[in-house]
Amino acid sequence: MSDITIVFLIIVGAVILFMQNRLPVIIVALAVPFSLYMTGVLSLQEVFSGFGDPTIIFIASLFVVSAGLEAAGVTAWAGQKLIQWAGDEGRGRLLVLMMLMVAVLTAMISVNGAVAALLPVVVVLAIRTGTKPSQLLMPLAFGAHTGSKLALSGTPIAVIVNDALVDAGGEPFAFFEFAWAGVPLVIGGIIIIYLFGPKLLPHTQGPSLPSDFSRHARTLSEQYRLDGSFFHLRPREASPVIGTSAAAIDITGFPGLSIVRVKGAEGAQVAKGTPLAATSALVVSGPPDVIAAFAEAKDLAVIAAGENGGVENALFNRASGLAEVVIPPRSKFIGEMAFPGMTTKSGDLVVLAIQRGEDPVGPGAHKLAAGDTLLMQGSWQALDDHLADPAVLVVDSPAVVRKQAVPLGLGARAAIVILLAMVAMLAFNLVQPAIAGLIAASAVILTGLLKVEEAYRAINWTTIILVGAMMPLSAAMFQTGAAQLLADTLIAILGDAGPTALLAGLFVISAVLGQVISNTATALIVIPVAVLAANVLGVNVTPVLMSVNVACAAAFLTPIATPVNLMVMGPGGYKFSDYWKLGSIMMAMFFIVAVFLVPLVWSF
């Protein structure tokens, strides 16, 4: 059996396994280089060469940068801006703004990251405007696909195509050069969905929708009856507490008063031993009359919890947050004494309230029992560190709450600077993409936006392994002549129809494969065929590869085509057949751009 036959059998087998979806994608992907090695088509070094490719490094670094933006609250800020701009003006304005925002966000942080960040926000918007989520969620996913063509960082396919162009002897695409195709796709996508969406999309919603944490602090405040018991105190100019620490303030004459937190000028929590400044603030709890007497004695301005942002400002902000924990059966804390106002041994978490069932237990000390819920407050870092203890069950992950409900957190400025620096390095071609990505990802960790472990978790290892494992297949297609054979066959079928027919043929192959297997895997299969076909016809390879880049993003007809299509299926209540109705029109637009517009920008 010839090597060409072996390569074709491996491709057919991989496509069938991808379509059946019975084995994990990673297992199928890893089986490809394993098969190439065991059949002698590639050497051991060639089989594993994909995992050392710079493309892998760049793609992995984009996941880390994306997670850093999310952790800093930049994506939460974008979502809240969407809510603010859309208002209650109806579906049309909301749809346009949503698709523009997801397109721009996708260009910066990839398709999966943008849709994951905006999905809960769009569900909330749908509910507020009386629109069924199904009318917005598929447009969200499709808008991300169009936005992935705006810049090099929008999708791994763009990176792979760029590297293939360099390998073929062409000049690499500039960072924003993709926008010549991307901008028409974004505009066309908005027009299509605006005109045809209401009729072609179902009016449904899923059985379970993502949680809305936009009013999380207010919800907890009402449940635990915090308003009226927590107050903000700010020193006046002549206050005797300025220059002293909170720990040194004598509160013995004020029964029931406790100093919960000390906040600095930026709202960040500071130690109680830190000297107070005029810009500092005390968060205290206790009876209102006692707090009033304390404020008068110490010349402090009183801001009730119901004013100036309420609990959201005093206890839930960029620097600190709230979290509910439940005492599970067999917890080591069962039988321990606890009371509102107590702190952990380190002093960085405080118990604000305790409930047994639906009733608060009161101000005194109580023995904890299984099922008790405690409302904890502290810095976001302290919440992340302490609530990992298996002796408590966290109701809502502080990390998830922070990403959605706290816009522009403490690290937002650093995150935005890192993103802009990476874009500048790529746009002006100052360094290779892999180096720019590594610098940005390292900066995310060094600035404290993510820990090393969080950076590892942020990387979508399925994508990394898929790309690394499928790269040797492209090499095998070149080396064995399989790609040449496919290119010759494609040219023979098209006859003398010319390069435009070649683009049409490549689009059909890419689009069909992209509906049943990963569009990244599709690109790695089609790219070598496209390069050789361009060489056979004697045309410029640049428009051919750009056309393949556009074609591989036309994954609209099935929910399994891309992760984001599947991501919106549940919340939108979509059926498998819902995708092709609107998706077929979107695919027609992509066909026009890939086959007819691309050659106008990048000539043959």
pLDDT band at 182 (very low <50, low <70, confident <90, very high): very high
Helices (H), 215-320: 216-224, 288-298, 310-314
Beta bridge partners of 304: 231
What letter does residue 549 receive in the DSSP assignment? H
Instruction: State the Cα–Cα distance between residues 578 and 230, nearest whole angstrom.
Output: 51
Per-residue burial over 320-343, b if 16 or more Cβ lie within 10 Å, else e, is: bbbbbbebeeebebbeeebebbeb
- CATH 3.90.1150.10 for domain 319-394, yes or no, is no
More confidently predicted of 273 and 30: 30
Segment 284-306, tens digit of pLDDT: 887 778 888 898 888 988 765 54
Question: Which pLDDT does position 138 carry in this prediction?
Answer: 94
Please, are residues 261 and 311 in contact by the beta-carbon 8 Å criterion?
no
Whole-number pLDDT of residue 496: 67
Q: What is the pLDDT of residue 339?
A: 82
Order of all β-strands in the sheet with 230-235: 269-270, 258-263, 281-285, 230-235, 300-304
Determine the residue type at 556: F
Contact 477, 7 (CB under 8 A): yes
**Ramachandran class of 174: left when φ > 0, alpha when ψ lies in -120 to 50, beta otherwise:** beta
What type of residue sits at position 179?
A
Mean pLDDT, range 133-145, rounded to an integer = 92
Name the one residue in this structure whose structure tokens are 């400002």: 313
What pLDDT is recorded for position 49?
86
Instruction: Output the pLDDT for position 306.
Output: 45
pLDDT at 461 over 50: yes
What is the predicted pLDDT for the residue at 265? Answer: 66
User: Rounded to whole angstroms, how far apart are CA atoms 285 and 230?
Assistant: 4
pLDDT (0 to 100) of residue 193:
94
Looking at the chain, the whole-number percentage of residues with pLDDT higher than 70 is 93
Question: Of residues 13 and 427, which shows the higher confidence score?
Answer: 13
pLDDT at 578 over 80: yes
Which of 77-81, 188-192, 329-333 has the weakest average pLDDT? 77-81
Q: What is the mean pLDDT of the chain?
A: 84
Q: Are 553 and 589 in contact (CB under 8 A)?
A: no
The CATH fold of domain 214-317: Alpha-Beta Plaits (3.30.70)
Q: How confident is the model at residue 194 (pLDDT cuts 50, 70, 90)?
A: very high
Rounded CA separation 28/141 (Å): 26
pLDDT at 56 over 50: yes
* Alpha-carbon span 562 to 557, nearest angstrom: 10
- Are the beta carbons of 429 and 423 closer than 8 angstroms? no
What pLDDT does residue 185 have? Answer: 96
- Reported for 361-365, long-range contacts at CB under 8 A and 24+ positions apart, including other chains, are 363/256, 363/339, 364/339, 365/337, 365/338, 365/339
CA atoms within 13 A on the CB side of 220: 25
Average pLDDT score over residue span 44-51: 88
b/e map of 81-103 (b: 16 or more CB within 10 Å)? ebbeebeeeebeebbbbbbbbbb
pLDDT of residue 180: 95
Residue 337: φ, ψ to 5°: -85, 135
Residue 163: phi and psi, rounded to 5, are: -65, -40
pLDDT at 598 over 90: yes
Q: In the chain, where does the domain assigned CATH 3.30.70.1450 lie?
A: 214-317, 319-394
Is the pLDDT score of 310 beyond 70? Answer: no
CB atoms within 10 A of CB 6: 18
Most confident of 11-25, 57-71, 132-146, 518-532: 132-146
Q: Which residues lie below 8 Å from residue 67, measured CB to CB, with a gap of 6+?
A: 113, 444, 450, 454, 455, 458
Percentage of the chain surpassing pLDDT 90? 23
pLDDT at 307 over 60: no
Confidence of residue 155 (pLDDT cuts 50, 70, 90): confident
User: Are residues 444 and 418 in contact, defined by beta-carbon separation less than 8 angstroms?
Assistant: yes
**pLDDT attached to residue 479:** 84
d(CA 261, CA 388): 22
CB 593 within 8 Å of CB 188: yes
pLDDT at 12 over 60: yes
Give me Rg for the CA atoms of the chain. Answer: 28
pLDDT digits (tens, 9 = 90+) for 201-246: 998 876 666 666 777 777 887 788 776 667 778 888 889 988 888 8
Query: What does the block give as tokens for 379?
Result: 């810095």
Identify the top-confidence range among 13-27, 164-178, 201-215: 164-178
Q: Which residue has the higher pLDDT, 130 or 425?
A: 425
As a whole number of angstroms, the distance between CA 170 and CA 86 comes to 43
For range 256-285, the mean pLDDT: 78
Query: Between 31 and 17, whose confidence is greater?
Result: 31
- pLDDT tens per residue across span 407-424: 777 788 899 999 889 888
Where helices occur in 406-450 by DSSP H, the ranges are 412-427, 433-446
